[in-house]
Structure 1
Amino acid sequence: MTEPASASPTPAQAAGRLLGAADIRRIAADAGISPTKKFGQNFVIDPGTVRRIVREAGVQPTDHVLEVGPGLGSLTLAILETGARMTAVEIDPPVAERLPRTVAEFMPDAADRLRVVNADALTLTPQSLPDFNGDDRFALVANLPYNVATPIVLTLLERFANLDTFLVMVQKEVADRLAAQPGTKIYGTPSVKLAWYGTAQTVGAIGRNVFWPAPNVDSALVLFRRHPAGAAPADRAGVSRETVFRLVDAAFGQRRKTLHAALKKIVPPEAYDRAGIDATRRGETLSIDEFVQLAAALEGARA
């Protein structure tokens, strides 16, 4: 159930209030900011929705959180309300410049727990964003720009080994693909690659009327947890991510073809026998574990 907009923070939370529709429009007008399709900007205007996101993410006061695409600060304030520390990465310079002022206005006691970085999330590395280098783990909580949501999560998981969990709001179609299982029509490259890093599930739908401007698509929440150390498919098989992802890309590049046909330039026939996988199957039926088995057989054949 969505919380009412007037819900007050508990004593353990930061004092202040969240943004409503009128606040969002005033801030945008004052700063001369208009939502742009270029950056996939649809600002959340409902306090209940951002509190729901934070609740589903399980953010605690001791957490260190990364937010990508904070926009005008709706979700930012909800994260800070928990007492957590956070870094917000915003690609749009005027929006990034405005965000600290918004936090200072609506939740001044939390201002020292926020750092805003004006950068493209796809360029981030532990060197360019050292904020989380001293953490055993951190979480991504974000309303991601829908046009680059999948590249963002896969890039961050690859580059930041201590990115342990994420709760992101994305286009519903993207959410379904990220959490899809083998053998379904929507199972594809993003599904398999995300499964390499951990497990994902959809945890709720979000209506269009909580955004300004309202998008033309439905939205959903995706919760992800990284595999525990030693439990990932690669840890068990000792294969490289590059080899597995090369097989995945080739298999889904011609998804209606059998593995034998789609991977004939990469995988020799004997590798299928070694992996215990029928070469007449299609890539869309293979789990991440089976792709790893095939990669292990391929690397073994090359050794």
Structure 2
Amino acid sequence: MSFSASLDVGEVYSYSEYYKRAFWYFGDDLTTWLAPLYLFSVLRRQRLLAIGLAGAAFLSGGRIGLILVAIQALFIIGSWRREQSRIAPSIGLSLIGGVIVYFVVVSTSSHAIRAANSAILHFNLESSISLFEPTRRGFSDCRIANCFDRKVKRPFRMRTLSAVAGLWMTLEGGFPGSRYPDTPEKFAELIVKANPWGVNDRYGVTREEWMRIGTVQSPYVGFGAGYGPALLALAMGFIGAVCLVGLWVLSVRPPDAWTPLTVFFIVNAIFNQTQAWLQPGPVLFAMGLCGTHILWQYFSFGARGQDQPLPGSNPVVKEV
């Protein structure tokens, strides 16, 4: 991520000299699935790795991802009562280190680009390596006067309208297969024509705005929009059951370095309502791994009894 942000390689947005978001080729949900890796490194006392992952999370800059990191960190600090005096400072110091990494990388980006281009020209490599260029995407998008509107109000409106459209599509029985509006143009055409519950007239939503929204962004109604209410209820029931199992495991067994996997599944399932993570992608893959870990804990721990830790764990005994 430092490479992407330093040399403006891949998907990079430079909003100002000191505000940049860089995903390289990982996509803007990178911050979300970095969370369990970051907290795992903190609990394993891998300090440099934790600082590096925190820096990568800040450089990717996903708002919901950073909120999820904060919620998971607070969840873990609250769970490890006897270790709070160690874990809380470790998380705080690693986040401070991540902020330092962020500002060092962003503030030196222009110098890094000039140095890299000078090296390419010096060694006559321009025929095989393209010169790096500073990106200007988003440079005037967020200023003091308009930042709240552009970064809070407009995204909130778009996601709310997206959820309304997804709920209507779900209640209509879903649009599976070729019926699903898989392009912004098809999505806008469907919603403008249907005008669910008069939302277009009531809130002045135009075809152009629906095209900017592009698709259903909420995970659950996005799933229901494609597969219908019955499969949505089945999926939500399964996810809810795994969350309950995860909460039970957290309540009866000593926490260890693998606890962030359980916490990630629960927190993401409940609080992440802005990313379509139920669609195939890295977040769904991470949820699958974490859900498998929860079920493995349940069956393994249940067979061993409450006094026996799992193999390979380093438990911390909770206060009674």
Q: TM-score scaled to structure 1, two decimals?
A: 0.25
Q: Write 1 or 2 for the structure with the bigger share of helix.
A: 2
Higher relative contact order (CA 8 A, sep 6+): 2
Mark the structure with the bigger radius of gyration: 2
Q: Write 1 or 2 for the structure with the bigger share of strand.
A: 1
